[in-house]
């Protein structure tokens, strides 16, 4: 089956073509084109929804065209379309959803409505070039850490997903981005903080790890931002080393909290696989530490998508569409900015 994926939930406009085979349960990417309006948002220190939506409109057709050329397929070769319907910014979502509906109407092809968060989970089912086939066993636990979400979900089997816990306030990526702004770092701050943290001392500041020992599987990151602000305000001037130390200590506090709850959930639900997903999953230290702590639990395998598949992209949406196939027509698809785990 050949699927065209479309992703426009926020500031990335992406189209990608995948092929997949039910008997094989592995997904191969033929193309995955991503255009981003990030540089415009870097100037404003955050995303302005209206600006993001206008850029989506500009990019969507060129991105789809390039994804078909790169995959060496024609629109008539596509068996179905998978599109992100939410969660996300309504103006951005509408661009992808309405484009997908138009294509489905003209080509008379089925559509699958994809939850963006499922996309981040299903990025793990994609086989990259030179990568061995993956055998993801259920039940699996997924930690989704992005700019808008921090969630732990249990995947009993494809499409059977139970939400276990999540952030009560800021998402992990959001906390990194807000702390980056305090430190005058460019947006999005996650990758910059990771780079600076490599030169810093993660033990220099003992920032809070809220809820780390609580009985539930929830997170809270807004207190961390306040603690960093207090620290910054107490220092007359920050030099390069101070910033590196704050970045390292912040990153460590976030990773410690994420991992404590992930390991707690993995043990409680006796999962066989742990899947990491979302933009923050691109963080090498998070990945390395997860592999390390999970090695203490027997028979658990950790999966992390390759870096380019951690941030928003259409191949992961197409993969989610393959494993959760819906034979819908264009009439049954609607953008839903508030969509969550049903
Ligand atoms: O999944 P994503 O591309 O968009 C959303 O759906 O939100 O995630 C973007 C988030 C941003 O908060 C960004 O700062 C963070 O992912 N991020 C990182 C890294 N790369 C992106 N955080 C930590 N380390 C990274 N290397
Ligand atoms: Zn995302």
CATH number of 86's domain: 3.30.420.40
Q: Is 127 helix (H, G, I), strand (E, B) or coil?
A: strand
Residue 276 domain-assigned?
yes
Which ligand is located closest to the Cα atom of residue 190? Answer: 1
Same domain, 318 and 226: no
Report how many domains make up the chain. 2
Answer yes or no: are the C-beta atoms of 206 and 227 closer than 8 Å: no
Same domain, 120 and 198: no
pTM score of the predicted model: 0.94
Residue 341 domain-assigned?
no
Ligand 1 centroid distance, CA of 215 (Å): 27
Give the dihedral sign, CA 147/304/183/185.
negative
Same domain, 178 and 118: no
Beta bridge partners of 113: 83
End-to-end CA distance of the chain: 27
Domain range for 213 is 140-305
Residue 338 domain-assigned?
no
- What separation in angstroms does the CA of 331 have from each of 64, 100, 125, 255? 21, 11, 29, 43
Residue 259 domain-assigned?
yes
Query: DSSP for 228-239?
Result: HHHHHHTSS---
**pLDDT tens digits, the chain, 342 residues: what are they?**
999 999 999 999 999 999 998 777 779 999 999 998 878 877 777 789 999 999 999 999 999 999 999 999 999 999 999 999 999 999 999 999 999 999 999 999 999 999 999 999 999 999 887 778 888 999 999 999 999 999 999 999 998 999 999 999 999 999 999 999 999 999 899 999 999 999 999 999 999 999 999 999 999 999 999 999 999 999 999 999 999 999 999 999 999 999 999 999 999 999 999 999 999 999 999 999 999 999 999 899 999 999 999 999 999 999 999 999 999 999 999 999 999 886
Same domain, 69 and 149: no
Residue 262 domain-assigned?
yes
- Give me the residue label for tokens 């994420």: 258
Residue 337 domain-assigned?
no
For ligand 1, atom 2, name the residue with the nearest CA.
279
- Token pair, residue 327, equals 């034979």
Answer yes or no: are the C-beta atoms of 243 and 196 closer than 8 Å: yes
Ligand 2 centroid distance, CA of 312 (Å): 5
Q: How far apart are CA 179 and CA 258, in angstroms?
A: 17
- Give me the residue label for tokens 């220190």: 45
Pocket residues for ligand 1 (CB within 6 Å)?
A: 10, 146-148, 173, 176-177, 188-191, 194, 278-280, 282-283, 311-312
Q: Is 177 helix (H, G, I), strand (E, B) or coil?
A: helix
């Amino acid at each position: 089956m050949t699927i065209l994926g479309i992703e426009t939930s926020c500031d990335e406009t992406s189209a990608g073509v995948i092929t997949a085979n039910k008997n094989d349960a592995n997904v191969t990417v033929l193309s995955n084109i991503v255009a981003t309006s990030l540089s415009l948002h870097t100037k404003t220190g955050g995303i302005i929804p209206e600006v993001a939506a206008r850029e989506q409109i500009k990019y969507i057709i060129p991105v789809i065209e390039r994804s078909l050329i790169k995959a060496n397929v024609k629109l008539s070769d596509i068996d179905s379309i998978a599109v992100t319907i939410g969660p996300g910014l309504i103006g951005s979502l509408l661009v992808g959803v309405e484009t997908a509906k138009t294509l489905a109407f003209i080509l008379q092809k089925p559509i699958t409505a994809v939850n963006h968060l499922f996309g981040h989970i299903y990025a793990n089912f994609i086989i990259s070039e030179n990568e061995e086939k993956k055998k993801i066993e259920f039940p699996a636990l997924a930690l989704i850490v992005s700019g808008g979400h921090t969630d732990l979900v249990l995947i009993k089997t494809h499409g059977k997903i139970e939400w276990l816990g999540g952030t009560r306030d800021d998402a992990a990526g959001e906390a990194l981005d807000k702390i980056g702004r305090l430190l005058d770092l460019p947006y999005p701050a996650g990758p910059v903080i990771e780079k600076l943290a490599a030169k810093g001392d993660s033990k220099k500041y003992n920032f809070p790890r809220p809820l780390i020992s609580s009985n539930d599987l929830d997170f809270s990151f807004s207190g961390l931002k306040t603690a960093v602000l207090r620290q910054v305000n107490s220092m007359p001037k920050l030099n390069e080393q101070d910033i590196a130390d704050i970045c390292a200590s912040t990153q460590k506090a976030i990773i410690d909290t994420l991992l404590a709850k992930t390991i707690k959930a993995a043990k409680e639900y006796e999962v066989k696989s742990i899947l990491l997903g979302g933009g923050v999953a691109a963080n090498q230290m998070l990945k390395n530490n997860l592999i390390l702590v999970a090695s203490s639990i027997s028979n658990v395998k950790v999966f992390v998508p390759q870096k380019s598949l951690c941030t928003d992209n259409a191949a992961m949406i197409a993969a989610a569409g393959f494993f959760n196939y819906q034979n819908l027509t264009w009439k049954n698809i609607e953008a839903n900015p508030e969509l969550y785990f049903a």
